[in-house]
Amino acid sequence: MSIKLTIWLMMGIVIGFHFEIAPLLPLTIMLVFLPVAYLLGKRQQREGFPFFEVLIVLTTISLGILVVGLSLGRGMSSHYSTKNLEAQGIWRLKVEEVLKPNDFSQSYITRVVAVGDTRASGKLLLNLTLDSVAKPLKVDDELLSLTNPEAIRPPLNPHQFDYQDYLQKQGIQHQIRTNHRSIIVKQGSKTLFGMASNFREHIILKLKQKNFGDEELGVIQALILGKRDDISEGTYNNYKNAGAVHILAVSGLHVGIILFLLEFLLSPLERLPKGKTIKLIFVVLLLWSYAFVAGLSPSIVRAVTMFSFVAYSLYLNRPTNSFNIIALSMLFILLVKPLFLFQVGFQMSYAAVFAIVWVYPQLQKFWFPDNIVVRKAWQLLSVSVAAQLGVLPISLFYFHQFPALFFVSNLIVLPFLGLILGFGILVIALAMTDFLPKFLAEGFNWVIHLMNSIVGWVARQEGFIIRNIPFDSVQMIVGYAVIIALVVFLSRPRWKSALFFFGGLIIFQSWTIWNQVQVYQTETIILAHKTRNTIVLHQLGSSVTIITSDASNIGNIVNDYEVAERIKNLDTIQLKNSYELDDKRLIVVDSSAIIPLQKNPDYLLLTQSTKINLERLIDSIGPKKIFADGSSYPSVISKWKTTCMEKEIPFHYTGEKGCYVFKF
């Protein structure tokens, strides 16, 4: 029953998020339907229309709509979005999470405490320009800012990562961009999350005083404490390409290993009266203690919550309840944090756990070696294959690559991960008490260095890393249907499951062919946005010509477009001053400031902060529409924009309005 309730709750969350339904409507539905369902549940006969079940479905869906509406603050008078965001006011914020900095700014997720003298609610993204003198903010710090929130920009280029959508799925709709000199910081009231974050930082400070290498310390912080800020890009990419990036994020894998270590270490308690209950209490308390040490980040809290329910399932000792217990943990988490449903980590964690619980026993039935060494290797490989099968469609959808040697890195690293975690927790405990022997620190440093080297070797096998795999949401859904049908068929071969499997394959292949046919019928010209460069993409079928003034400064624009549009051929040519777009003409004016001779062009593109008198140029050639891209200075573009407004000529700046698609 918990599985069905969880599915209906998820449906409600998705509906409530995308259709922006205020909480009042689902709350009214629940208040009406719940008493009716209660009465029907007492009186309904088994025969006839299942009114009770239908009412429970509608009530659970309404509950999903309600919790996501409350999480987003819809229809709530206290939410900051109901205030006048353009009016000058003092914004009082409290830091809830410190994000990884980039080269230019440090970002924080903050909770709105008040706007002016009025209490308010909601979450804002705070971006502070990096300042080597200013002290970084910490969780629980409170600050005052006179800078008003602004909308988070949508992506400027086609198929670019949508940071606006990503933040909306965390309940964040606006941001404040300012600097340290424009804010007043004060110590806020302590929260459990703040104390956990400060304790983690204290642990990291202690570890930095020991004899750990920079790369090794970065991995230790990620592996045990869930902080990945200090991992170099090269090391992170190695783990990603080797299919072992999940090791660097404290999640279900780590907490699951710690759970089974605790189950083993505390098993003598079962000999006591009520021993199993005492052991369960200790296991859950120690799991949450570890979550506190690791900073109580959302991913850790989610994983510990899930495995607290798994611990209860082990306590019941009823394997048939595993699915229901895991679904119950998901139900509980989504009721408290409904927006977790849209997070990749949440999706992959539960997909992997469900796959392991379901697929792993089937693989063990398929082959059970007599040799104990072979058996243990097969069990590890089975867990890795089951987990990878569970996350494969999601992984392809989000990351568009598949490390074919994932089983090698997992087979080598996973058997020792429990020892590494246990060893790491011991090292942290000794470091905190200043009793960490030098040989122990050096030994652990060597273990992490060895693990990095093994993962790096696997990642260097480029031929086994399949990149740039086009995979959309339809393929993800159909892919899961095919995987489920395959496992069902291999478990119990039946005609129905075989038809379902082959039917799924046909649908999957048909959708892929349809997409490819659509690509061959496409011709598009796009003016993209790139700082200090001009980029025009001309797609003709499955080929794209990149027209640019600087081929070395393209970034991820072309790669993102290539994957999403299923492009097979790429070509790069130098930007020219004039183009024929079907029956229309595009004129490009660059830093050479060469004035075109053609009169009345349809499009005029100004690049490289060209030094021309735009007003005179407009009077001279009379363009119908003017463009500016990222190759020019903002101050120059502002002047061009003003001139176009005075001349009543449409002006499109890619830095504000995004890329421009030329119509044929």
Task: Report pLDDT digits (tens) over 447-474.
Answer: 999 999 988 988 888 778 888 899 999 9
Highest mean pLDDT among 49-53, 315-319, 355-359: 355-359
Distance CA 600, CA 535 (A): 24
Neighbours of 580 (CB within 10 A): 8
Question: Is the Cα dihedral 198, 200, 203, 204 positive or negative?
Answer: negative
Q: How sure is the predictor about 44, in pLDDT bands with cuts at 50, 70 and 90? A: low
Q: How sure is the predictor about 43, in pLDDT bands with cuts at 50, 70 and 90? A: low
Minimal CA–CA distance to 580: which of 609, 605, 601, 557? 601
pLDDT at 410: 77
Mean local confidence (pLDDT), 88-110: 90
Q: Which residue would you say has higher pLDDT here, 323 or 169?
A: 169
Pairing of strands 91-98, 105-115: antiparallel
pLDDT at 360: 87
Q: How sure is the predictor about 478, in pLDDT bands with cuts at 50, 70 and 90? A: very high
Assigned token pair, 430: 């000794």
Domain 80-189 fold: OB fold (Dihydrolipoamide Acetyltransferase, E2P) (2.40.50)
Q: How sure is the predictor about 48, in pLDDT bands with cuts at 50, 70 and 90? A: low
Q: What does the pLDDT look like over 137-168, one tens digit per residue?
A: 999 999 999 999 999 999 999 999 999 999 99
Percent of the chain with pLDDT over 90: 44
Distance from the Cα of residue 322 to its chain's centroid: 27
Q: What does the pLDDT look like over 197-211, one tens digit per residue?
A: 899 989 999 998 888
Assigned token pair, 83: 């205030």
**Residue 41 pLDDT > 80, yes or no?**
no
pLDDT at 606: 95
Beta bridge partners of 279: none
Q: Which residue would you say has higher pLDDT here, 259 or 510?
A: 510
> Half-sphere exposure of residue 187, counting CA atoms within 13 Å on the CB side?
2
**Distances 354 to 323, 360, 411, 436, 601 between C-alpha atoms, Å:** 7, 10, 20, 39, 60
Please list, residue by residue across 428-460, b when 16 or more beta carbons sit within 10 angstroms of its beta carbon and e when fewer do.
bebbeeeebeeebbeebbebbeebbebbbebbe
Minimal CA–CA distance to 192: which of 113, 293, 340? 293
pLDDT at 646: 93
- Structural domain boundaries of the chain? 2-72, 80-189, 197-357+416-463, 473-518, 523-662
DSSP-derived 3-state class of residue 404: coil
Please list, residue by residue across 147-175, b when 16 or more beta carbons sit within 10 angstroms of its beta carbon and e when fewer do.
ebbeebeebbbbebeeebeebbbbbbbbb
Mean local confidence (pLDDT), 367-393: 84
Mean local confidence (pLDDT), 366-392: 83
Please list, residue by residue across 24-38, b when 16 or more beta carbons sit within 10 angstroms of its beta carbon and e when fewer do.
eebbebbeebeeebe
pLDDT at 142: 93
Mean local confidence (pLDDT), 256-278: 87
